[in-house]
Amino acid sequence: MSSSSEVTLTQSPPPAAGEAPAGVVWSPGQALLTVRQVAEFLGMSPKAVYHRAERCQLPGIVHVGRSLRFRRTDLLRFIEERHGLSPTRSR
């Protein structure tokens, strides 16, 4: 049985509104995603997710106590609309 935090990355067309992309495993009722899930899904480190969230470059940010979560529907809409993430700069 897979855990609710399991995320698998695949290259595929954007999902329909409110649906998980092909190959991504989320619990049916899971409305909020963890930083780790978002990082795995977007192919970046959790540190990069925190960095982009701090700069409001990712949608659906929700603070749950001291934890950061992302609304699944907002993140999927963001990806569907192809607001791709800008490339990172070398320092």
What's the confidence (pLDDT) of residue 85? 61
Q: What is the C-alpha to C-alpha distance for residues 71 and 60, in angstroms, rounded to an integer?
A: 5
pLDDT at 16 exceeding the cut of 50: yes
Question: Which amino acid, residue 48?
Answer: A
In a domain, 39, yes or no: yes
Number of domains in the chain: 1
Q: What is the 3-state secondary structure (H, E, C) of the chain?
A: CCCCCCCCCCCCCCCCCCCCCCCCCCCCCCCEEEHHHHHHHHCCCHHHHHHHHHCCCCCCEEEECCEEEEEHHHHHHHHHCCCCCCCCCCC
pLDDT at site 84 = 57
- Residue 89 counted as domain residue: no
63 bridge partner residues? 68
Domain that includes residue 61, residue range: 32-80
pLDDT value of residue 88: 56
Per-residue pLDDT reduced to its tens digit, 35-89 = 999 998 888 999 999 999 999 999 999 998 999 999 998 988 888 886 556 555 5
pLDDT of residue 76: 87
**Residue 85 is assigned to a structural domain of this protein:** no
User: What pLDDT is recorded for position 19?
Assistant: 55
